[in-house]
């Protein structure tokens, strides 16, 4: 296993990243958030852990929804610094969120700390060892606890050259170049001006098998795409009805 790539601490990448609508507007700029929130259910009075918390948008949401304890973990010091900066605005008025800079490839259950909800948004496709992490998450959850996450959809992560091309004979429509679906593992992509951004492709079968073999019970499953009627208004998401970009999953540690 190669050491984790910490692209979010690259200043040039980060400068571009913070311009994205979901970082400018927070959860209002994340079109899949309502579906994830529905899978999360109420977090009132719960202990909530966000793995790959980034700038802490969901941590702050959980805090504002009266979660009992909230912790965010992320590899990037820049992300965690931003999260703390946002939180400083409300310091003293609300319970503090605990942020930790840590690599999820080596993250382990903390003795005597159990969680009711473990959440992760758009982070697990950066990780090599999903099975190990799923087992740690399972061990860290109380009985009846939930693990809810989003990842880039396997149809989105599979291609060696992920791009739409004009559909032959139909120039007004476009086709996603899906290939290499069965070849799990590293994909190097260019994103936000950075080359060699490392992600890991896994099939849908692998995501679900790892969770079920770990002992989780499947509770929710969405291939997020915008509703047909909202496409016109969902600027930037028009292409998402041609192929799903996000996979959302909710599982439970049976009571």
Ligand X SMILES: C[S@@+](CC[C@H](N)C(=O)[O-])C[C@H]1O[C@@H](n2cnc3c(N)ncnc32)[C@H](O)[C@@H]1O
User: Closest separation between CB of residue 232 and ligand X, Å?
Assistant: 25
Q: Cβ of residue 10: shortest distance to ligand X, in angstroms?
A: 11
> What is the three-class DSSP state of 109?
coil
Q: Which residues bind ligand X (CB under 6 A)?
A: 4, 8, 52-54, 57, 74-76, 79, 103-105, 121-123, 126-127
Q: Which element (helix H / strand E) includes 116?
A: strand 115-121
49 touches 73 (CB < 8 A): yes
CB of 8 to ligand X, least distance (A): 4
Kindly state the smallest distance separating residue 31's Cβ from ligand X, in Å: 12
Distance (Å, rounded) from C-alpha 163 to C-alpha 57?
A: 29
**Residue 73: φ, ψ to 5°:** -120, 135
Give the residue at shortest CB distance from ligand X: 54
**CA atoms of 217 and 240, how far apart (whole Å):** 28
Under DSSP, the state recorded for 70 is E
Q: Which is nearer to ligand X, 170 or 197 (CB)?
A: 197
> By C-beta, is 106 or 179 nearer to ligand X?
106
Question: Which tokens go with 135?
Answer: 């087992």
Nearer to ligand X, 120 or 232 (CB): 120
Scan for tokens 């899978």, then name that residue: 39
The Cα–Cα gap between 4 and 105 comes to 8
Query: Which CB sits closer to ligand X, 197 or 234?
Result: 197
Using the minimum distance from each CB to ligand X, give the nearer residue, 128 or 221: 128
């Amino acid at each position: 296993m190669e050491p984790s790539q910490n692209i979010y601490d690259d200043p040039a990448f980060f400068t571009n990243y913070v311009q994205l609508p979901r970082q400018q507007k927070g959860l209002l700029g994340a079109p899949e958030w309502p579906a994830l929130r529905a899978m999360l259910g109420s977090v009132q009075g719960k202990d909530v852990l966000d793995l790959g918390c980034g700038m802490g948008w969901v941590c702050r949401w959980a805090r504002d929804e009266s979660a009992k304890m909230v912790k965010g973990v992320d590899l990037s010091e820049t992300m965690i610094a931003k999260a703390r900066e946002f939180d400083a605005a409300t310091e003293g008025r609300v319970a503090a969120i605990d942020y930790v800079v840590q690599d999820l490839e080596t993250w382990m259950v903390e003795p005597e700390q159990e969680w009711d909800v473990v959440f992760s948004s758009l982070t697990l496709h950066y990780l090599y060892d999903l099975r190990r992490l799923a087992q740690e998450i399972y061990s860290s959850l109380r009985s009846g606890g939930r693990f809810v996450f989003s990842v880039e959809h396997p149809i989105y992560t599979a291609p060696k050259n992920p791009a739409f091309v004009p559909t032959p004979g139909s120039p007004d429509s476009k086709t996603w170049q899906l290939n290499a679906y069965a070849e799990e593992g590293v994909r190097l992509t260019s994103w936000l001006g950075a080359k060699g951004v490392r992600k890991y492709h896994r099939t849908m079968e692998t995501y679900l098998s790892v969770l079920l073999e770990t002992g989780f019970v499947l509770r929710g499953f969405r291939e997020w795409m915008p509703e047909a009627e909202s496409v016109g208004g969902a600027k930037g998401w028009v292409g998402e009805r041609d192929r799903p970009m996000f996979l959302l999953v909710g599982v439970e540690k049976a009571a």
